[in-house]
Structure 1
Amino acid sequence: MKTIIKASIVLTGLCFAHSANAANCLQGCPTGLNNGNTIERSIYTLKNNRYTKFADWVAYHVTTNTMSGPSRSRSWKADPDLYSHYTLEPNDYTDAYATINTDRGHQVPLASFSNTADWKLTNLLSNITPQSSALNQGPWVRLETAVRNHVSNGNDLYVVTGPLYEYYFAELPQANEAHTIPSGYFKIVMEQSGSTIKASAFIMEQSASRSDNFCNTEVSIDEVESRAGINVMPNLSYNNAQVIESTVFGLINELGCN
């Protein structure tokens, strides 16, 4: 039986100064991993990695107004705001499913922004990684659905998601540029109500089974930060960060895990 420690904290001494990308992030956008460009967009902020060719992290804010729009298409495009040798192009994904059984996996899910004018931005390849089909269509999408289910009840959620590179997974068979496919992924879900923050963090491997329960993959934010090399909420004071980032299960009930 798991001991449930609620990752909830009443924050004191917060700085509410807003940077240009603050709308997509809670307590500041992540810092660390300075190997590329940070791109701010209306519906997300991402940090591209020029060496792996994928985003180190993407931060976004899901509300009742951003989701529940009509069904949207998936038309993949290279990111026009990145040099071509810093990102991948649609042809690089040719034969990926047939040879390494991966999907074009959104880091920012299209369904969470289907009701926005800029939903097409989720289909830029800077927001995409080769994600195992079993993971993408199994526990990963169920976590994304759980986020939207909670938001549909009137609760805004902030999310930071990104890749881990802890072992070799595969290579895109038709890619003409050097790249590194992630071995796994993290997703941190955060909610602020007044001066209280709740958070739950998850790590899932590319080797995940389609039937895996995302609830069993929860970890602390500290573990994500250690393994990903980032600071998720840099504007938190040291004392506040010590509490909220070291504990787990803050949003476990809200995300449908009992």
Structure 2
Amino acid sequence: MKSNRIILILIFFGIGYILYYKDKAGPIGSFWQTVSGVFKSKESVSDKNPYKAPEPDVEATATKGDEKYDDIATATNKKNSPNNDKQETTKEESSIFDKIKDKVFNTDPETETSDNGEIPDFALPAINRGDEIIEHKNYTLRYEEDYEIPAWVVHKLRGEYTQGRASRAGNQFIPDKKVKNNSALSGDYSNTGFDRGHMVPAGDFKCCQDLMNETFYMSNISPQAPDFNRGIWENIEERVRGWAVRDEELYIVTGPVLRKGLPTIGRYNNVAVPEFFYKIALFYQPKSGKTPRAIAFLLPNEPLFGKRMNSYVVSIDEVEKATGLDFFAKLPNDIQTKLEAKSSWTDWTKIQ
């Protein structure tokens, strides 16, 4: 009888050990990813192509300046607006280990975050008079009315945000009423051959359903080639999430390279199709005493089969030259100059 108790204690200790280290770099993390992949529910299969569906419930029939625009845009997505108290979301079935964790440790993924998501000024690009700045709970963006997409989107990414059971199932892409003259509509992307590409990924906020819902505002979306969006771009997003788990807190800046004369799509609005996208990750925790570092990616908006993400690592200075933006303008000058001069893949992939 005594031996049975010891065995039971060892089993629970083993489970707890795995759950603690499952999201950290190392053999336990690799084991968790492998086993979780085997037990994923059939529901998750529908998430493999989330960028074209679901289409809006009712296609909008208005353009900007039309008095009916707001009402139609709201009706287009009324079922799944983040502000709708009656929103219905489909809970993804967790892996077998998540079920054990809930029963043994009685955790609630919706209450595990400890930060309000406020973005400090040093993480934002320089803001000029006349820029249209839109703030949501955990990301800030500059919207470009001439292109109907954002010039940049900044969000704080903590490792704890990436864990939880918030689901994108049932979410629709919704107009952003904070945009002065209305954002693009989801219907502008319908049957164009382009994905509705998130700048702030939905997967960065598995912790909290309300934060994930907000990533579906059309002000956070830009046209991306399907094989780019679901290929190397998604791989970079996943790698950045891994870095956030390791480093606890990062600041991420994402956006397109905009220029006059870009091709456009859109039944109701002229939405520019960028030729390039960038993503920048900043690690800056001055109170920790750790060395600041940053890394930038600049990629063409096209299928990049067989290409490695480190092939597209560039300096922040190069992204600034391509975009005309001034990133991290409020960092101390010496730190900003050093961080922007060079990106090191090795500095980000080695064990810290």
Deviation at 1:39, TM superposition (A): 1.2
Deviation at 1:241, TM superposition (A): 2.0
Identify unmatched segments of 5+ residues in structure 2.
1-115
Q: What does residue 103 of structure 1 align with?
A: 195
Does the 8 A contact of 1:22 with 1:28 survive in 2?
no
So what's the TM-score if we normalise by structure 2?
0.60
- Give me the CA root mean square deviation: 2.4
Q: Aligned partners of 1:235 and 1:46: how far apart in 2?
A: 17
Q: Aligned partners of 1:168 and 1:133: how far apart in 2?
A: 22
Does the 8 A contact of 1:188 with 1:221 survive in 2?
yes
Does the 8 A contact of 1:33 with 1:229 survive in 2?
no
Q: Aligned partners of 2:312 and 2:260: how far apart in 1?
A: 18
Deviation at 1:36, TM superposition (A): 4.2
Taking structure 1 as reference, are residues 204 and 25 closer, same or farther at Cα in structure 2, changes over 3 Å only? farther
Q: What does residue 55 of structure 1 align with?
A: 150
Q: 2:348 aligns with which of 228, 232, 254?
A: 254
Q: Is the helix fraction higher in 1 or 2?
A: 2
Q: What does residue 136 of structure 2 align with?
A: 41
The one-letter amino acid of 1:164's match is V
Deviation at 1:49, TM superposition (A): 0.7
Q: Aligned partners of 2:262 and 2:321: how far apart in 1?
A: 20
Q: Aligned partners of 1:154 and 1:237: how far apart in 2?
A: 21
Within 5 A, what are the aligned runs for 1:161-200? Answer: 161-165=254-258, 170-172=263-265, 174-193=266-285, 194-195=288-289, 196-200=291-295
Does the 8 A contact of 1:164 with 1:183 survive in 2?
yes
The one-letter amino acid of 1:80's match is K
- Greater RCO structure (CA 8 Å; 6+ sep): 1
Deviation at 1:220, TM superposition (A): 0.5
SS of residue matched to 1:222 = helix
Does the 8 A contact of 1:35 with 1:49 survive in 2?
no
Q: Aligned partners of 1:62 and 1:25: how far apart in 2?
A: 13
Deviation at 1:135, TM superposition (A): 1.2
Within 5 A, what are the aligned runs for 1:139-154? Answer: 139-154=232-247
Taking structure 1 as reference, are residues 255 and 87 closer, same or farther at Cα in structure 2, changes over 3 Å only? farther
Does the 8 A contact of 1:147 with 1:255 survive in 2?
no
Q: Aligned partners of 2:335 and 2:247: how far apart in 1?
A: 26
Q: Aligned partners of 1:227 and 1:33: how far apart in 2?
A: 18
The one-letter amino acid of 1:60's match is H
Q: What does residue 231 of structure 2 align with?
A: 138
Q: Aligned partners of 1:135 and 1:167: how far apart in 2?
A: 22
Does the 8 A contact of 1:158 with 1:189 survive in 2?
yes
Q: What does residue 245 of structure 1 align with?
A: 340
Taking structure 1 as reference, are residues 86 and 252 closer, same or farther at Cα in structure 2, changes over 3 Å only? farther
Q: What does residue 218 of structure 2 align with?
A: 125
Deviation at 1:207, TM superposition (A): 2.5
Taking structure 1 as reference, are residues 53 and 33 closer, same or farther at Cα in structure 2, changes over 3 Å only? farther
Structure 2 residue 173 is the aligned partner of structure 1 residue 76: yes
Report % sequence identity. 25
Bigger radius of gyration among the two: 2
**Number of residue pairs matched?**
230
Does the 8 A contact of 2:123 with 2:251 survive in 1?
no
The one-letter amino acid of 1:140's match is W
Taking structure 1 as reference, are residues 182 and 255 closer, same or farther at Cα in structure 2, changes over 3 Å only? farther
Q: Aligned partners of 1:28 and 1:203: how far apart in 2?
A: 19
Q: 2:207 aligns with which of 115, 121, 127?
A: 115
The one-letter amino acid of 1:186's match is Y
Does the 8 A contact of 1:110 with 1:119 survive in 2?
yes
Taking structure 1 as reference, are residues 26 and 32 closer, same or farther at Cα in structure 2, changes over 3 Å only? closer
